[in-house]
Amino acid sequence: MRVLVINAGSSSLKYQLLDTKSKEVFAKGNCERIGIDGSFIGHEENDGGKQKLEVELPDHKTAIKHVFDLLAQAGFDTEAIEGIGHRVVQGGWYFPESKVVTDETLGWVREVAPLAPLHNYAEADVIEICRNMFPSIGNVIVADTSFHYDIPEKAWRYALPRDVVDRLHIRKYGAHGTSHRYIWRTTREFLGGDVHKLVSCHLGSGASLSAIEDGRDKDTTMGLTPLDGLIMGTRCGTIDPATVCYLVREGGYSIDEVDTMMNKQAGMLALSGRSSDSRDIEEGAAAGDANCQMALDMFYYRTGQLIAEMAQSLQGFDAMAFSAGIGENSATMRAGVAQELAWLGVKIDPELNKVRSDEARLISAADSKVKVLVVPTNEELMIAYDVEALLGR
């Protein structure tokens, strides 16, 4: 099935047209700076053709029009597109699985938007635009939170007063669920029936872990929002929640300033004082920068610690899989994290760890108690599979 996958942000819109059977990506791109000066579309086709289109993108509707024009020029008119999959960041309490777009399901995306205002409103608008502009094409909502919906209550509940939690729908929702689902599926294909308990490690500029047993999630490190858990590019991850009160009361920061500080000015960026990008931090550490070295040491320490926490949720683990920008590309970071887990019998083979490839691969030593893999994630393909499952004939 030929599926268009759309990932809309407040000022961007990524798209990919792919085939679920051949896994071929026909075209992909990103509309950037929507509603801001200097907007453009970066568009690529599978024959290697690339273009940067400097066009005014005052709103998402204009961006989508351009995307469909570009796809038509590439030979894919609306007849050729058999379904559209929309990534939705927050599915709240409505999306235990992906769902076909109807007035009702679209309303749910807006209803839960206060939990992720920067994403859900834009995503809902884009879904509505696609429905209205191309009524012959079916649309599917794939929420990033769905995979975590069924984690046990002891894992998702917060120890806050019940009336508050109930009224405001506070719980662990998690994120990156589509990626963790794909990582499980690929690991299972790779290792066959030998794997039951997997700690999936999505380590990109946003990062989270998921404790998966036979395809079902048991726990995850992100919480009510993606701020929780691991130290990330610009997010602080788990800290004492009272720090927020202290910053407001004693530091004189407004709540919005604290929000921005913790999401955009913290994490590896704050620790290294140099960059949120682990390549720059690795370079800095190699050149003797002590702050960069501390950023790496803390990343290894916290990631190892939380992997052990996920293993506890699973009561042991057969495998762990590294994925996303850092997990797929940085042999240094993989080695640093694995070293923290040596006491659990995790051991990677330094030569296998150096191999660069776009394929899933094993990097653990023969005598490792836990299989360690690198699994390039593919959220778009996972979304397209869901579209096919719900709309395909």
What is the closest distance, in whole angstroms, from the C-beta atom of residue 131 to ligand ADP in the complex?
Answer: 27
What is the closest distance, in whole angstroms, from the C-beta atom of residue 233 to ligand ADP in the complex?
Answer: 5
Among residues 325 and 336, whose Cβ is nearest to ligand ADP? 325
What is the closest distance, in whole angstroms, from the C-beta atom of residue 366 to ligand ADP in the complex?
Answer: 26
CB 158 within 8 A of CB 165: yes
CB 179 within 8 A of CB 376: no
Among residues 85 and 336, whose Cβ is nearest to ligand ADP? 336
What is the closest distance, in whole angstroms, from the C-beta atom of residue 16 to ligand ADP in the complex?
Answer: 14
The Cα–Cα gap between 1 and 393 comes to: 9
Among residues 277 and 297, whose Cβ is nearest to ligand ADP? 277
Written as one string, the DSSP assignment of 7-64 is: EE-SS-EEEEEEETTT--EEEEEEEESTTSTT-EEEEEETTS-EEEE-----SHHHHH
Minimal CB distance residue for ligand ADP: 325
Among residues 2 and 302, whose Cβ is nearest to ligand ADP? 302
Report, in angstroms and rounded to the nearest whole number, the Rg of the chain calculated over CA atoms.
21
What is the closest distance, in whole angstroms, from the C-beta atom of residue 110 to ligand ADP in the complex?
Answer: 25
Give the 3-state secondary structure of 104-127.
HHHHHHHHCHHHCHHHHHHHHHHH
Q: State the alpha helices, DSSP H only, in the chain.
A: 60-73, 103-111, 117-133, 153-156, 162-168, 177-191, 242-249, 255-264, 267-272, 278-286, 290-314, 324-329, 331-340, 350-354, 379-391
What is the closest distance, in whole angstroms, from the C-beta atom of residue 355 to ligand ADP in the complex?
Answer: 13
CB 122 within 8 A of CB 10: yes
Query: Residue 70 gets which letter from DSSP?
Result: H
The Cα–Cα gap between 212 and 148 comes to: 10
Sites of contact with ligand ADP (CB under 6 A): 204-206, 233, 277-279, 324-326, 329-330
Among residues 97 and 280, whose Cβ is nearest to ligand ADP? 280
Catalytic residue among 125, 144, 217, 386: 144
Active site residue 19: no
Contacts of 128-133 with C-beta under 8 Å, sequence gap 24+, read 129/60, 129/61, 129/64, 130/6, 130/64, 130/84, 130/86, 131/101, 131/106, 133/61, 133/64, 133/65, 133/68
Among residues 83 and 336, whose Cβ is nearest to ligand ADP? 336
- Point out the residues that are catalytic: 144
